[in-house]
């Protein structure tokens, strides 16, 4: 994995080439479109693609056996989709089957209910929410599996760029909720993938 911010385009491409040369799958997160354009100009990675919503460059060179179960990634609102997309591409490059369930936050909670059966079948669920971040607690109270909560920096001034959602999630009374950093879609996906792999290996 390459975290692109604070790196020059030249540095990103060099690291990308090093990782790819070993035959690995490569994921570059928080990548600007210009970085992908420069990478494409090298002509070395015709299979690399740019996931615009996730702001990620993805190169799949190794096919992984897909997970038996589906990893649901749930968003409170449409504005949370970029962080959820980062989680999705990360989980998928690690071999997880995923499903993105969008816009089911507490402002329209009735939309969540039709998805409950698939959430309750999951081994682990990722919940992505900004504003007050209440959706993680709601989902945590409805499922009997770990919930990885991702606060996002979406919201008005008093959301303090995600701090309000972070504190809400940390103070959740739903005991199965674990929280990653603000906008941490990548971290949530890695944690959820490791949990899911352990569970499926045990089965």
pLDDT at 191: 96
Contacts (Cβ under 8 Å, ≥6 apart) of 10 = none
| Dihedral in degrees, nearest 10, Cα atoms 159, 162, 168, 174 | 140
- The candidate with the shortest Cα–Cα distance to 19, out of 71, 63, 59, is 59
Tokens coding 197 = 């792999």
Confidence of residue 156 (pLDDT cuts 50, 70, 90): confident
- How many angstroms from the chain centroid is the CA of residue 75? 10
Q: What is the mean pLDDT of residues 157-164?
A: 91
pLDDT(125) > 90: yes
pLDDT at 203: 65
pLDDT(151) > 70: yes
Model pTM?
0.90
Which CATH number is correct for 70-202, 3.40.50.1970, 3.40.50.10490, 3.30.450.40, 3.30.2320.30?
3.40.50.1970
**Alpha carbon distance 125, 4 (integer Å):** 27
pLDDT at 17: 92
Share of the chain above pLDDT 90, in %: 80
| Structure confidence by residue, pLDDT tens digits, 67-121 | 999 999 999 999 999 999 999 999 999 999 999 999 998 888 899 999 999 999 9
Q: How confident is the prediction for the chain on average, in pLDDT?
A: 93
pLDDT(136) > 90: yes
Other CB atoms within 10 A of residue 96 CB: 23
């Amino acid at each position: 994995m390459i975290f692109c911010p604070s790196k020059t385009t030249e540095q990103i491409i060099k690291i990308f080439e090093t990782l790819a040369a070993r035959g690995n799958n490569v994921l570059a997160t928080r990548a600007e479109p210009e970085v992908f354009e420069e990478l494409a100009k090298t002509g070395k990675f015709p299979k690399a693609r740019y996931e615009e919503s996730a702001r990620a460059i993805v190169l799949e060179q190794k096919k992984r056996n897909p997970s038996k179960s589906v990893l649901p990634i749930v968003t409170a609102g449409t504005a949370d989709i970029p962080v959820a997309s980062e989680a999705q591409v990360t989980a998928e490059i690690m071999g997880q089957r995923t499903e993105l369930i969008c816009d089911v936050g507490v402002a329209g909670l009735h939309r969540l209910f039709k998805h409950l059966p698939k959430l309750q079948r999951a081994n682990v669920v990722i919940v992505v929410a900004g504003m007050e971040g209440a959706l993680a607690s709601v989902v945590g109270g409805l499922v009997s599996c770990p919930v990885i909560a991702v606060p996002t920096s979406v919201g008005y001034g008093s959301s303090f760029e995600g701090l309000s959602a972070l504190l809400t999630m940390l103070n959740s009374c739903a005991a199965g909720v674990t929280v990653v950093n603000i906008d941490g879609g990548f971290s949530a996906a890695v944690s959820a993938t490791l949990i899911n792999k352990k569970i499926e290996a045990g089965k």
